[in-house]
A and B are shown apart, each in its own frame.
Chain A
Amino acid sequence: MSDQQHNQAGFDAGPLPPAGTRPHETYVHGHHWRDRWEEADGAKLGMWLFVCTELLLFAGFFCAYAAFRLMYPDNWHEASRYYLDWKIGFINTGVLLFSSWTIVMAIRSLQLDKKFAAFIYLGITNACAICFLFLKITFEYIPKWQLGKLPGKYFNYPNYGPADPAVIDSTTLPEPAGPLVDAGHAITNGATDMVASAMNSGVMDVLPIAAKAGEEAHHVPMPHDHIFMSVYWISTATHGLHVFIGVVLITWLMFRVMGEHYGPRRYTMVENVGLYWHVVDLIWIFLFPLLYLV
């Protein structure tokens, strides 16, 4: 497609400014492509394929979630209510949704040749990403770490310490469908003590969980809480890693935008990072209700 046809194709970006000397205007497409728009189309198709791989990567976590939810339904329900605070997750969802809008606006600004607007929008997107990570680490990861709500074997059961195969096998409930109270008797007694002592020591006062601790002091830890926390940690941490990669990419884009490498004739990379960012957002939109709300 020529530049002319590209405009007629209805990008709604107004007529292209005449080619000048700025880097994005003098950009020469790869020798094996017909023109830059073909190249851009190819790049976008490639990015969509990559997006598919990202979704399938997280599909592994979702399947693990589904499998264990079926195996331990009530445990899953209780653990979600007791260990996770929907408020932080909710704020983070809003932050990410907003950032998805700002990165689209950055692309739009480039199409309209508004360099500074694009830079500002990318900056806001980046700020949102960093905000997401900050909230996640400060109000979720660190408190959970301090309380010993770690994945798997490092999970700290009240009175029992780390999840121990021997303890879980012999004294607790191997039957997920069985009556929980009887088999979990030993743990139940310890649980209230643990929460009470944590409150007394002041550890929990600063934590989001503290508000719930009062009204749910009678929460009964269940034998597979540590599996829930495993799924929580590995899926949110992998997602967090993707957010971090997004920060790196968007920062790089900000430098490139200031260097006038992108403009109305060349913005594929921004679009592709945008696609990536939407997927990171999308994955969170599924993780949030599954882990925090359901």
Chain B
Amino acid sequence: MSDHHAHYLAGKGSTGKTIMSWVWTYDHKKIGVMYLVAVLMMFFLGGLAALGVRAELFEPHYTEFVNDDGQVVADTKGYKGAGSDFVVPEGTTPEQRGVMFPNITVTTVETNPDTGERTEGTKTVTGNNIYNRAFTLHGTIMVFLFIIPAVPAALGNIFLPIMLGAKDVAFPKLNLWSWYIYLFGGMFAIFALIQGGVETGWTFYTPYSSTTEWGNVTAMVLAAFILGFSSIFTGMNFIVTVHKLRVPGMGWFDMPLFIWALYATSIIQVLATPVLGITLLMVVFERTFLIGIFDPALGGDAVLFQHFFWFYSHPAVYIMILPGFGIISEIIAVHCRKRIFGYRAIAFSSIAIAAISFLVWAHHMFTSQSPVANVVFSALTFLVAIPTAIKVFNWISTMYKSSIAWTTPMLYACFFLFCFTIGGLTGPPLATLAVDIHLHDTYFVVAHFHYVMMGGTVLAFVGGLHHWWPKFTGKVYNETWATVGGWIVFLGFNLTFFIQFFLGTQGMPRRYATYPTDIPAFEIMHKISTVGSWLLLLGFLIHLFVFLHSLLAGKKAARNPWGGLTLEWETETPPLEHNFEREPVMTHGPYDYDTARPVNADPALFPMPTDTPKAH
């Protein structure tokens, strides 16, 4: 047996043994750290694709669409005449075609379904194809490989058991399985996206996804299917851990709000992911056995796919954002040193969001379903605003008259409140039927969900990373440079996406590789957006260097640098292999800042409200 009193990052003798102690570990913290490294790499890869997409849109390109007879039927200045097949003529240079990426010629092998005869040929992939692949790579990687596992599987894995006072998650072996399934699915996905590429967008809408011959759709869809198992196993693990492994004395309402958020997330992961699994499996069947369920030409129903897909993928939006809410609850309470306002309201609103998330999927289909369904789903969608607003009001009430410490995590919590509120408030316009018909599939939608996903989850994730960084690495990071990086990310983010609201209302459709040259406003707005994306890159690179510097040259962190009251601040830094020296005893609630002194923290730095005379 290994030494239980060593911290979990301590080496195990020889280098080989140390590596094996990671490869076969059942320790939730090590699995969480491996997840963290992987999701950060995925964030980088997905981010690069996004930069490519933005660079392509930096300026419009004059593009002609030519029919089979060589007549120009349309160009980016407008539609020229009748013609159904828009084919780019042979021999056009990339400049003429007007896209940044050059054409590439790929070898194709086609199999005749009747005779089994294989014929080899070549196919020219145009720059527009590459653009499609770039935004699909961005979307699929960010959704399936970064944002869904980012908070639960990385930060959640590390801190959920510690915050509950448990030694590990309920099923440590399943946890390791979940990690390797993620790794396998991730490699599968990257293979599919790089080797051949996928052009369907992350939504895989049929019939395009089920009939297109371009790229590796089957492999990508299978990869998402595999990743679903990883997500389900993590969710099951967390639910059982929360039910069964809370330390004695910790009731449901003594749990930190991060745990409540992870619990609500896990419920969605367990209940929604299987539906995506079966949907993707049906797309695979559709492509391999031509079952025709989603193919209107065979009597199938393409919109059925959208129902199936969004039945998972809308709740999945809350898989992405709920853990972010949890992090913000922790950060605000700890760094404002105040009892969180409306604990139960925040806890129950997480569960309410999880419940409502299953009832709103068809608001993605306002342009493809019956008016009656539209009205119903529009009304249900407005309901989401209620629990979300409850959370935002409670966070702001917590900050009111508190003693705010302007640390990087707190800064990020404020960025979150700013950006997420914009993201949230642009939701109701999209839920409004008449407005949505105009805004559907425009950059307004792009801006809206980036304000929620990136302005919400990613900012919360980066904030949480800084909040818990000293605890799980045992090293202090450079506060000044982290703050600088934070501000640049914040400015870059708003520069990139705020302008897109206007771009969308002006009618710029999403997922287009170029835009008309004769609308100058489009060009200006796209240029601003692209410059913003460079600022974002700069900001995140600063964060990367701050973290690397901290790992290599950072000072040893204190056990409780922020004066937090939740259980993770009571253990060693970094935590012991079995989390605690002995089972912790609950002497106070997670947010009792008015009555409890934080352990392991200097009382001079974190005075009680009673230590100083009350100011009125």
Contact = CB atoms under 8 A, between A and B. Distances in A.
A156 B272 CA distance: 36
B206 to A, nearest CB: 13
A223 interface: yes
B553 interface: no
Contacts of B275: 56-57, 59-60
Interface string A24-57: 0000001111000010011101100110111011
A234 interface: yes
Given A230-B291, A230-B293, A168 B298 contact: yes
Given A53-B270, A227-B292, A60 B308 contact: yes
Contacts of A60: 274-275, 278-279, 282, 308
A88 B170 CA distance: 43
A46 B243 CA distance: 10
A236 to B, nearest CB: 13
Contacts of A53: 232, 236, 270-271, 273-274
Nearest to A226: B292
Interface stretch (A116-124, A146-154, A192-200, A206-214): A146-154
Given A61-B278, A64-B304, A165-B298, A230 B172 contact: no
Given A165-B297, A168-B299, A234 B291 contact: yes
A152 B243 contact: no
Contacts of B300: 227
A232 to B, nearest CB: 10
Contacts of A141: none
Contact of A42 (B170, B277, B278, B292): B170
Interface string B364-404: 00000000000000000000000000000000000000000
A1 interface: no
B301 interface: yes
Most chain A CB atoms below 10 A, which of B167, B281, B289: B289
A215 to B, nearest CB: 28
Contacts of A41: 244
Interface residues of A, number: 45
A115 interface: no
Interface residues of B, number: 46
A128 to B, nearest CB: 26
A63 B308 contact: yes
A9 to B, nearest CB: 17
A44 to B, nearest CB: 9
Contacts of A224: 299
A254 interface: no
Nearest to B280: A60
A30 B172 CA distance: 9
A233 B170 CA distance: 37
A153 B210 CA distance: 13
A177 interface: no
Contacts, number: 136
A246 B223 CA distance: 24
A134 B239 CA distance: 38
A112 to B, nearest CB: 27
A71 interface: yes
Contacts of A233: 289, 291
Interface string A224-252: 10110011011000100000000000000
Nearest to B289: A151
Query: Interface majority SS on B: helix, strand, loop or mixed?
Result: helix
A271 B268 CA distance: 26
Contacts of A49: 235-236, 239-240, 270
B290 A223 contact: no
B270 A42 contact: no
A231 B293 contact: yes
Contacts of B171: 42-43, 46
B293 A227 contact: yes
Contacts of A33: 245
A12 interface: no
B293 A64 contact: yes
A49 B243 CA distance: 12
B502 interface: no
A7 B272 CA distance: 38
Contact of A152 (B271, B291, B308): B291
Nearest to B4: A31
Nearest to A47: B236
B171 to A, nearest CB: 6
Contacts of A231: 293
A86 interface: no
A105 B161 CA distance: 37
Given A46-B171, A71-B301, A56 B292 contact: no
Contact of B299 (A32, A42, A226): A226
A169 B298 CA distance: 8
A67 interface: yes
| Most A-side CB within 10 Å, residue of B275, B278, B301 | B278
A41 B170 CA distance: 11
A68 interface: yes
Interface in A66-83: 67-68, 71-72
B99 to A, nearest CB: 33
B285 interface: yes
B466 interface: no
A152 B287 CA distance: 11
A42 B169 CA distance: 11
B168 interface: yes
Contacts of B281: 234, 238
A163 B292 CA distance: 10
A162 to B, nearest CB: 9
B166 interface: yes
Given A49-B240, A52-B270, A230 B245 contact: no
B543 interface: no
A154 B237 CA distance: 42
Contacts of A234: 281-282, 285, 291, 293
Nearest to A57: B274
Interface in B226-240: 232, 235-237, 239-240
Contact of B240 (A46, A63, A67, A169): A46
A58 interface: yes
Contact of B168 (A32, A45, A56, A154): A32
B133 interface: no
A54 B167 CA distance: 29
Contacts of B245: 32-33, 42
B230 to A, nearest CB: 13
Contacts of A45: 239-240, 243-244
B278 A153 contact: no
Interface in A139-175: 150-154, 163, 165, 168-169
A30 B279 CA distance: 37
A71 B271 CA distance: 27
20 contacts: A32-B169, A42-B171, A45-B240, A46-B240, A56-B275, A57-B275, A57-B277, A61-B278, A63-B307, A72-B299, A152-B291, A153-B291, A154-B289, A154-B290, A165-B298, A223-B299, A230-B285, A230-B291, A234-B281, A238-B281
Q: Across chains A and B, which 6 residue pairs bring their CB atoms closest together, nearest first? A: A60-B278, A153-B290, A165-B297, A152-B292, A32-B167, A152-B291
Given A45-B243, A226-B292, 19 more contacts: A31-B578, A32-B167, A42-B170, A42-B243, A42-B244, A45-B240, A46-B236, A46-B240, A50-B232, A50-B236, A53-B232, A53-B274, A54-B274, A56-B271, A60-B278, A63-B308, A150-B289, A151-B285, A152-B295
